[in-house]
Structure 1
Amino acid sequence: MRFLAVVITGLAVIAPAAHAFVLPNKIRLPKAEYFTVQQIYNGWWIIGLLLPIAFLANGANAIWLRNDRVSLILSVAAAALILANLAIFALFTQPANAVTQNWTVQPENWEALRIQWEYSHAANAVITFLAFCCAALACVR
């Protein structure tokens, strides 16, 4: 169970980290180029399925490690951080995806939506990395 919690949470870090690493280059792109580049994310929703799986794995890990109070707290923290990621996605990322129809429609407020989309992913990169750290620490104790 420990191994699964760490590996799945580690895999869940990849997509948000990729978004965060390209943010400095993408945030300044002109409109046409930005909308073109956004198409590389078609199909990435599949990677997003790792998040609920990571939540479940860390929840199960918390139960598995319940006799070690610190590991239990770290596992619960990892699960809570994954939930925070999902909340940020639901509140900030997905609404931008919906308005732009997954970046195929160019609304007037596209720049504000770009900032919302990019920085919600950057925040989720940090949050998911922290979840990974908590999961790893829970398992190495």
Structure 2
Amino acid sequence: MYVFVEVLTVILVASAMAMALAHALELPGKMRLGRQEYFVVQRIYYPGFTIGGGIAEVGGIVATFALMLTSSGSVELWLIACALTGLLIMQLVFWFMTQPINKHWLQEVELTAPAKRFFATQGSDGDALVPTQEWTAFRNRWELSHVLRAVLAMLSLILLTMAIAIQGA
């Protein structure tokens, strides 16, 4: 059973990292886009990344926590705890850097009922983002948040796999 939890945890955390890394790797190309092209490209992400990233990130946190609770060694425990911390900070970056931009940008977009609830666009003021602020400032904040999330996810995956390798040795 323990091996199943290890494998599941690695798959979930690797999936979360893949989603964040995909955004980060697009950065150079997206920075060359004008406003109109950027927003056209931006809208393709929300359905898939919201569902896939949400499942992988929440599942990864839960699985990493379960793995931490069943860890048998102190070094492994600390590595897994640090991996979990990275995943939790990744969530903080999303909710405080990324999500306010998502809410702001999606206010004028027709969304499904679940998407409206998740992005909280109904009656929202975009978390008090300054509407006259240059769109590039929002873009830069959104893109930077995904670079930070990719780094945190990769670090968490490395720490997690180190813990599993040490425990298996």
The verdict on a shared fold, with TM-score over 0.5 as the criterion, is yes
Offset of residue 95 of structure 1? 0.4
RMSD: 1.6
- Provide the C-alpha distance between the structure 1 equivalents of 2:107 and 2:64, rounded to a whole number of angstroms: 30
Q: Do the aligned partners of 1:100 and 1:107 also contact (CA within 8 Å) in 2?
A: no
Q: How big is the shift at 1:101? A: 1.0
Which residue number corresponds to residue 52 of structure 1?
58
Residue type of the alignment partner of 2:11 = V
1:92 paired with 2:117, answer no
Q: Is there any run of 5+ residues in structure 1 with no aligned partner, and where?
A: none
Structure 2 gap ranges (5+): 110-130
Contact 1:55-1:79 within 8 A present in 2 as well: yes
Match of 1:21 among 18, 22, 25: 25
Q: Distance in 1 between matches of 2:44 and 2:161?
A: 31
| CA displacement at 1:102 relative to structure 2 | 6.9
Code of the residue aligned with 1:117 in structure 2: it is W
Contact 1:56 1:79 in 2 (8 A): no
Which of 1 and 2 has greater Rg?
Answer: 2
2:15, 2:63 → 1: CA distance? Answer: 12
Which residue does the alignment assign to 1:74?
79
1:42 CA displacement: 2.7
**Pair 1:32 & 2:22 matched:** no
For residue 137 of structure 2, give the secondary structure of its aligned residue in structure 1: helix
How many residues get paired? 139
**Segments ≥4 residues shifted beyond 6 Å:** none
